[in-house]
Structures are given as C-alpha cells and as structure tokens.
C-alpha cells in the first residue's frame, strides 16, 4: 500500500547562499520566500518559481565552517559538499501522518533513518539514497503551511512568479529501474513510462504535486540535475549548484 504524500520541495547543497542566488534567483527567476538559519548546522533559503515548484538552498553555517577549518566535526551540508560537490541533496515529501508512513515503509522492508518526532511543528524521517536509488528522500509532517513558515522565519510570504522558467524537478539515474519504480510507487507517486525512451526511463508524479521526478537508466545511481521548462541548459558549477536540464 503506497503512503499518502505530496512533494513539497527539492533541495540542493551549495557553498554559499548569496553566490548561488545568482543562478536560481537572478537568472532563473526564483523568488526568495523565506530565509532560515540554524547557527550550528546550516543556513538556507527557500525559493518559489512560476508554476509553484519550490527549491531549497542549503549551505554550511558559520559555526560548522569554523569546525571544518580547524579539523573538528563538520555539519551534514559541508560533509555532503566535500563528498559530492554542489548537487541535488534531497526531495521532501509531506505526509499527513508520519507514523503511518513509517509503518508502511517498514512493512515493505524499507527502514527509515534519522526519525525525529520531537518537534510537533516539523516531524521528519529520511529514506536512504541506497533504498531510493540515488537520492535522499525526506518525509515530513507539519501543521504549518508556507505562509506560516514565512511568518516563523520573520517574513511575509510573497506571491509566486507568474511567468518565467518553471522548476519541474530532479532527474536521477538508476541501475535498476524496476526497483526504482517500486520504491517511488511506495512513496506515493504514480509512475509513467517515458514513451520516448521505452523501458529506459520513467517519471514519478503526484496528483497534487508541483514537482515530479524523472528516473532514467544509468551505470551509477544518483542525481543528474534539475529540470526547468522555458530555460536554457546550464552546467554544474561548484559555486552556483547542479546542472540545469532544459525541457521544452
């Protein structure tokens, strides 16, 4: 039985938020909806795009940067950057009932990690990339909508852009498309085989989602980049972020 879920946002890890905004805001037209900062772990910004897709930029906090420079323990963002560079970090799926979602996953042999039920405003758990096929999936339950989150972070939610490029979602490669179809179906998506590529690709969509996931066969599992409609392709950049994959 699939879990009930709706994609909320896709996140990328970048070294520095102001620098990365040169691509995601200034070139691709994203609007900063709110900023957030955990002084000891990470800082970030959530951007909204034409069509409703949301992108979360994650960068190391000042404290975690200092720890890394002195050889101390580093936070998860800089550890990710050290290992993978600037690339897609995770996809967040919101669920109405996190405990039920976890029960469904465990019944199907998927053991979530980093389960945190302590904060009633944001309860979360993660599905490992090894289970999904190349991408961290965050499951989150919250009573807050975007307007409330903007208020919590000290701002007022602006209206989303009504023109310009549209964020469609991440593209992944998988070494086992059959297994990938099963996990994305379990995560609440409807899987559509890509007619252009026959059995070599599929797209996972959600009825109420503004983001989808495209999975294509590859020799290694992982995130290829972010698909945008009405935008030109852009390569991976160590300061700006993962590749932009153009879709017409």
pLDDT tens-place string over residues 85-139: 999 999 999 999 999 999 999 999 999 999 999 999 999 999 999 999 889 999 9
Task: Assess contact for 204 and 190: CB atoms under 8 A.
Answer: yes
The pLDDT, as a whole number, for residue 76 is 87
Q: Please compute the mean of the pLDDT values over residues 186-209 and round it to a whole number.
A: 86
How far is Cα 237 from Cα 20, in angstroms, rounded to an integer?
9
The answer, yes or no, to whether residue 70 has pLDDT greater than 50, is no
The answer, yes or no, to whether residue 29 has pLDDT greater than 70, is yes
The pLDDT, as a whole number, for residue 6 is 97
More confident residue, 126 or 62: 126
The pLDDT, as a whole number, for residue 73 is 44
The pLDDT, as a whole number, for residue 7 is 98
Task: Assess contact for 85 and 71: CB atoms under 8 A.
Answer: no
Banded pLDDT at 196 (limits 50, 70, 90): low
Other beta carbons within 10 Å of 82:
10
Task: Assess contact for 5 and 95: CB atoms under 8 A.
Answer: yes
Cβ neighbors of 90 (< 8 A, separation 6 or more) are 10, 11, 126, 135, 136, 137, 138
- 209 burial via Cβ count (<10 Å: 0-12, 13-18, 19+): buried
Can you point out the beta strands (E) in the chain? 6-13, 31-38, 42-48, 54-60, 87-94, 113-116, 123-127, 136-141, 166-174, 190-193, 201-205, 213-217, 222-229, 244-247
The answer, yes or no, to whether residue 38 has pLDDT greater than 90, is no
Mean pLDDT across the chain: 92
Domains and CATH numbers, the chain: 6-247 (3.10.180.10)
């Amino acid at each position: 039985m699939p879990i009930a879920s709706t994609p909320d946002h896709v996140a990328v890890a970048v070294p520095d938020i102001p620098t990365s905004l040169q691509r995601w805001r200034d070139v691709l037209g994203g609007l900063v909806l709110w900023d957030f900062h955990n002084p000891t772990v990470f800082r970030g910004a959530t951007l909204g795009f034409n069509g409703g897709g949301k992108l979360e930029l994650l960068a190391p906090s000042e404290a975690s940067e200092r720890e890394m420079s002195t050889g101390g323990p580093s936070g998860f963002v800089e550890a990710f950057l050290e290992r993978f560079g600037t690339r897609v970090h995770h996809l967040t799926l919101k669920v109405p009932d996190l405990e039920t979602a976890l029960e469904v996953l465990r019944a199907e042999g998927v053991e979530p990690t980093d389960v945190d039920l302590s904060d009633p405003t944001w309860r979360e758990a993660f599905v490992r990339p090894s289970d999904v096929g190349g991408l961290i999936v965050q499951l989150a339950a919250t009573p807050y909508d975007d307007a409330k989150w903007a208020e919590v972070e000290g701002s007022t939610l602006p209206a989303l852009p009504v023109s310009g490029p549209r964020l469609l979602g991440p593209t992944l490669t998988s070494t086992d498309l059959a297994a990938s179809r099963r996990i994305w179906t379990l995560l609440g998506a409807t899987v559509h085989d890509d007619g252009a590529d026959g059995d070599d690709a599929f797209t996972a969509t959600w009825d109420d989602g503004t983001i989808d996931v495209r999975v294509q066969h590859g020799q290694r599992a992982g995130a290829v980049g972010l698909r945008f409609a009405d935008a030109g392709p852009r390569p991976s950049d160590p300061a700006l972020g993962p590749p932009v994959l153009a879709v017409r």
